[in-house]
Copies of this chain bind each other. A is one copy, B any other.
């Protein structure tokens, strides 16, 4: 069983002893719980490079905008602890709201060019909430390394910049998106999807493959590719709205002409569920063999 902490003070004492007396390195996997194989991948990465792995499970109210799915976001601590046990996680930190925010935080954080675009445009305050909770958790866990999924690519870039601008002594490790057999990026929010919605949601992944094919055939103009992606996705019956399709360089700066290493990022409403996904251009070639088995 992992050690379960719910109090900041207790976790701090544990970490301090582990680092100072044990000389242990600490790997940290911050999550909102309802863990899936994407989280397993993060945990395995942490386990491979650190003496102790800490997983936090906390649905951070600050990063939900007004009217979003904070209330219905899935929660199952018992199940999450079991998964952590299977993965030999050392510590689970599952604080209450009262413990994390005894007072409403007054701090707001933004990062020029990173927090106001894409997700930031559609989810006001989202990245301020993310930055606040990440800084707070880092100050509690004091990790040597922290693991973030590429699934939330913009979040990864925001956290990387936060760490750089503030000289935070933690290495940020990016972990590739995990997809199911049909290509759907794993997300706790996939739970919301009906079987029919799930079929429509596969259009996100398939639009990336379509883009790769177009690029391979010489279509490298971003505007053309974005339109093709959007049109393709919108053809699917349960797709209600495309919030955005964007193609950027690795640092989220929009590009005109697409090249290998650029990113396609998108957010799509399937029924009442908002899904995000992203894709590194060139990955279809690299992963040719996995596509061979229907991926």
Interface-facing stretch out of A71-79, A103-111, A197-205, A228-236: A103-111
CB distance from A293 to the nearest CB of B (A): 42
Q: Which residues from B are CB-within-8-Å of A136?
A: 165-167
Considering residues A113, A135, A140, A162, which has the most beta carbons from chain B within 10 angstroms of its beta carbon?
A135
Of all chain B residues, the one with the shortest Cβ separation from A16 is B169
Shortest Cβ gap from A164 to chain B (Å): 7
Checking B107, B132, B139 against A161 with a beta-carbon cut-off of 8 angstroms, the contacting residue is: B107
A12 to chain B, nearest CB (A): 7
Contacts of A20 in B (CB 8 A): 19-20
**A98 CB-CB contact with B under 8 Å:** no
Is there contact, CB below 8 Å, between A107 and B109? Answer: yes
Are the C-beta atoms of B105 and A165 separated by less than 8 Å? yes
0 or 1 for each of A57-100: is its CB under 8 Å from B? (1 = yes):
00000000000000000000000000000000000000000000
Q: Please state if A166 and B111 are interface contacts (CB–CB under 8 Å).
A: no
Residues of B near A132 (CB, < 8 A) are 165-166
CB <8 Å contact, B165 and A106: yes
Q: Is A32 an interface residue (CB 8 A)?
A: no
B114:A111 contact, CB within 8 angstroms = no
Q: Does A8 contact B (CB under 8 A)?
A: yes
Q: How far is the CA of A165 from the CA of B62 in the complex (A)?
A: 12
Q: Please tell me if the beta carbons of B107 and A165 are within 8 angstroms of each other in the complex.
A: yes
- What CA separation (Å) do A166 and B141 show in the bound complex? 12
Q: How far is the CA of A136 from the CA of B168 in the complex (A)?
A: 7
Residues of B within 8 A of A112 (CB): 106-108
CA gap between A162 and B105 in the complex, in Å: 9
**Closest-CB distance, A107 to chain B (whole angstroms):** 4
Q: Write the nearest CB–CB distance from A211 to chain B, whole angstroms.
A: 29
Q: Please state if B113 and A110 are interface contacts (CB–CB under 8 Å).
A: no
- Mask of A157-175 contacts with B, CB within 8 angstroms, 1/0: 0000110111111000000
**Which of A109, A162, A166, A168 has the largest count of B CB atoms less than 10 A from its CB?**
A166
Query: When each residue 126-138 of chain A gets 1 if its CB lies under 8 Å from chain B and 0 otherwise, what string results?
Result: 0000001001100
B111 lies within 8 A of A110 (CB):
no
Contact check, B110 vs A161: say whether CB atoms are below 8 A apart.
no
Which residues from chain A sit less than 8 Å from chain B, CB to CB? 8, 12, 19-20, 103, 105-114, 132, 135-136, 139-140, 161-162, 164-169
Could you list 8 further interchain pairs (A-B, Cβ under 8 angstroms) beyond the known A107-B109, A107-B110, A136-B165?
A106-B111, A106-B114, A107-B112, A107-B161, A108-B112, A132-B166, A135-B135, A135-B166
19 contacts between A and B (CB under 8 A): A8-B167, A12-B169, A19-B20, A103-B164, A105-B165, A106-B111, A106-B112, A106-B161, A106-B165, A107-B111, A107-B161, A108-B110, A108-B111, A109-B109, A132-B165, A135-B135, A135-B166, A139-B167, A139-B169
